[in-house]
């Protein structure tokens, strides 16, 4: 039985307009629409429309949460769910005040999803952890989360992309980088190839089409820069993995999770098998850091001083790094599965760049856990 203070907009409209013909739409179709909508904040607002929507929104399979600010679950304030909604400027009329009070009662179950509304009205904004925002969604299977900024800072003109798969720890990671990207008009019929022409910046010396790395790469800071890219990307991935611990624990229905950033720099991915492992095995946290410990890894590095793609994109100092734990202790499949993961890690010209670099000579490196 609904409590007396939970008044929905439908209660005010039905008396004047009679039957609500939207009730003829089956729940399965409404849920399909909600799954297409996906955005957690918008779904929270939909829950205020009617009792029916309020009951259906928690049952969505797909959800997308764009995070304005990362708040640890144990540090977030669980106070007034609406933040400053009821504490803003005095309403101009009693009716306005009444409607606002009604809206507060309606939105409370999903109020964490609507923190932006208070901010837009100049009111104090309360921040909540992603776990708090998602706590009322009981049936999520596919979750996509987006951080406001990328984790790894780079110099202007540098391109850095990464994708990592985690279970209870790192299973595989691919990193694509370049010291400079030029987007010029493509020559007719041009295809991807590695050029021996020197790049614009002096940090990457010219090589040859055999894929060999020139000696100067080791002495002018080229290798050191790639090591920094690799470690920074792994730290970013491990930090995102640690952020998911409460969400995975509280949502046993999850089958696919992707944690990205607004700049599209990196993606942490977990499938059904990885999520099961994450729940069953204890997470090894790094000492004095809010991230998962990165195990000792083997790395395969491929390099091209200048990579020209079919759309005219030119990547200077193009580098591909593929990472797997030593001994493959974390599982994650065989060589074929790893090759498929690497080939499909990125979209657009970056996928073409990975395919071209994969044909280059491979250099093996090892890295201790940290």
pLDDT digits (tens, 9 = 90+) for 252-305: 999 999 999 999 999 999 999 999 999 999 888 887 678 999 999 999 999 999
pLDDT tens digit sequence for 293-350: 999 999 999 999 999 999 999 999 999 999 999 987 444 567 889 999 999 999 999 9
In a domain, 2, yes or no: no
The predicted model gives 64-81 an average pLDDT of 60
5-14, 127-136, 214-223, 283-292: segment of lowest average pLDDT: 5-14
Record the tokens describing residue 368, joined without a space.
Answer: 């201790």
- Look at residue 16 and tell me whether its pLDDT is greater than 60: no
Nearest partner of 201 among 241, 262, 159, 146, judged by Cα = 159
d(CA 329, CA 342): 19
Q: Is residue 193 part of a domain?
A: no
Residue 85 pLDDT class (50, 70, 90 cuts):
very low
How confident is the model at residue 84, as a pLDDT? 31
230 and 360 in one domain? yes
291's CB contacts (< 8 A; 6+ apart) are: 235, 238, 239, 241, 242, 285
User: Residue 303: its pLDDT value, please?
Assistant: 95
Phi and psi dihedrals of 94, rounded to 5?
A: -65, -40
How far CA 253 is from CA of 143, 163, 166, 257, in Å, comes to: 10, 24, 18, 11
Question: Is pLDDT larger for residue 279 or for residue 87?
Answer: 279
pLDDT at 70 over 90: no
Question: Model's pTM, two decimal places?
Answer: 0.75
The partner residues of 300 in beta bridges, in order of sequence, read 322, 364
How much is the pLDDT for 49? 87
**Coil vs helix vs strand at 293:** coil
Does residue 280 form part of some domain? yes
**Structure-block tokens of residue 8:** 């929905």
Query: Does residue 239 surpass a pLDDT of 90?
Result: yes
Do residue 169 and residue 270 come from a single domain?
A: yes
**pLDDT tens, 176-221?**
999 999 986 544 444 555 544 444 344 444 445 556 788 888 888 8
In a domain, 103, yes or no: no
Per-residue pLDDT at 219: 81
Q: What is the C-alpha to C-alpha distance for residues 72 and 78, in angstroms, rounded to an integer? A: 12
- What is the model's pLDDT at position 217? 85
The mean pLDDT of 47-56, rounded to a whole number, is 89
* Residue in the structure block whose two tokens are 């065989």: 334
Confidence band (pLDDT; 50, 70, 90) for 72? low
Token pair, residue 335, equals 């060589």
Angstrom distance (rounded) from CA 141 to CA 34: 14
Query: Looking at residue 18, what is its pLDDT?
Result: 58
**Helix, strand, or coil (residue 168):** coil
Instruction: Please indicate whether residue 359 or residue 215 has the higher confidence score (pLDDT).
Output: 359
Residue 123 falls inside a structural domain:
no
Which candidate, 184, 288, 162, 327, places its Cα nearest to that of 228?
162
Q: What is the pLDDT of residues 140-177, one digit of tens each?
A: 999 999 999 888 888 888 999 999 999 999 999 999 99
Is the predicted pLDDT of residue 130 greater than 90, yes or no? no
Answer yes or no: do 217 and 346 share one domain.
Answer: yes
Q: Is residue 12 in a domain?
A: no
Please say if the pLDDT value at position 100 is more than 70: no
On whether the CB atoms of residues 221 and 358 are closer than 8 A, the answer is no
Q: What is the mean pLDDT of residues 77-87?
A: 34
Pair (39, 162) in one structural domain? no
- Are residue 65 and residue 154 in the same domain, yes or no? no
Q: Number of structural domains, the chain?
A: 2
Residue 171 lies in a domain: yes
What is residue 213's predicted lDDT score, i.e. its pLDDT?
A: 82
For Cα atoms 366, 303, 185, give the angle at the middle one, nearest 5 degrees: 150
- What is the overall mean pLDDT for the chain? 78
The answer to the question of residue 195 being in a domain is no
Q: Are residues 179 and 50 in the same domain?
A: no
Residue-wise DSSP of 212-259:
PPPTHHHHSSHHHHHHHHHHHHHHHHHHHHHHTHHHHHH-TT--EEEE
Q: What is the pLDDT of residue 120?
A: 47
According to the model, what pLDDT value does residue 295 have? 95
Q: What is the pLDDT of residue 157?
A: 86
pLDDT reported for residue 48: 87
What's the domain range around 43? 22-69+129-135
User: Are residues 45 and 174 part of one domain?
Assistant: no
For CA atoms 22, 23, 24, 29, give the dihedral sign.
Answer: positive
First to last CA, the chain: 54
DSSP 337: H
């Amino acid at each position: 039985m609904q409590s007396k203070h939970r008044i929905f907009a439908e209660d005010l409209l039905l008396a004047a307009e009679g039957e609500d013909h939207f009730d003829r739409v089956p729940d399965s179709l409404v849920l399909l629409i909600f799954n297409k909508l996906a955005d957690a904040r918008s779904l929270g607002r939909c829950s205020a429309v009617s009792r029916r929507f309020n009951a259906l929104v928690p049952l969505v399979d797909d959800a997308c949460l764009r995070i304005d600010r990362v708040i640890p679950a144990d540090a977030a304030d669980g106070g007034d769910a609406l933040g400053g909604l009821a504490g803003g400027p005095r309403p101009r009329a009693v009716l306005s005040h009444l409607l606002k009070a009604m809206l507060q009662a309606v939105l409370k179950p999903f109020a964490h999803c609507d923190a932006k509304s208070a901010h837009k009205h100049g009111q104090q904004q309360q921040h909540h952890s992603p776990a708090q925002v998602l706590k009322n969604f009981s049936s999520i299977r596919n979750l996509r989360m987006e951080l406001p900024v990328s984790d790894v800072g780079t110099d202007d003109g540098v391109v850095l992309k990464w994708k990592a798969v985690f279970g209870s720890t790192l299973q595989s990671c691919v990193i694509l980088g370049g010291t400079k990207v030029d987007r010029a008009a493509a020559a007719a019929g041009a295809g991807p190839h590695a050029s021996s022409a020197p790049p614009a910046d002096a940090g990457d010396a010219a090589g040859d089409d055999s894929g060999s790395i020139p000696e100067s790469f080791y002495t002018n800071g080229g290798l050191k820069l790639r090591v920094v890219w690799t470690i920074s990307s792994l730290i970013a991935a491990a930090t995102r993995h640690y952020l998911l611990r409460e969400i995975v624990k509280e949502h046993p229905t999850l089958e696919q999770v992707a944690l990205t950033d607004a700049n599209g720099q990196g993606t942490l991915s977990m499938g059904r098998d990885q999520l099961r492992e994450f729940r069953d095995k204890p997470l090894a946290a790094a000492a004095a850091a809010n991230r998962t410990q990165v195990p000792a890894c083997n790395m395969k590095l491929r390099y091209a001083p200048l990579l020209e793609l079919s759309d005219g994109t030119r990547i200077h100092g193009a580098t591909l790094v593929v990472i797997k734990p030593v001994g493959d202790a974390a599982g994650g499949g065989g060589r074929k599965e790893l090759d498929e993961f690497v080939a499909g890690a990125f979209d657009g010209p970056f996928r073409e760049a990975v395919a071209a670099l994969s044909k280059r000579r491979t250099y093996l490196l090892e890295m201790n856990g940290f």
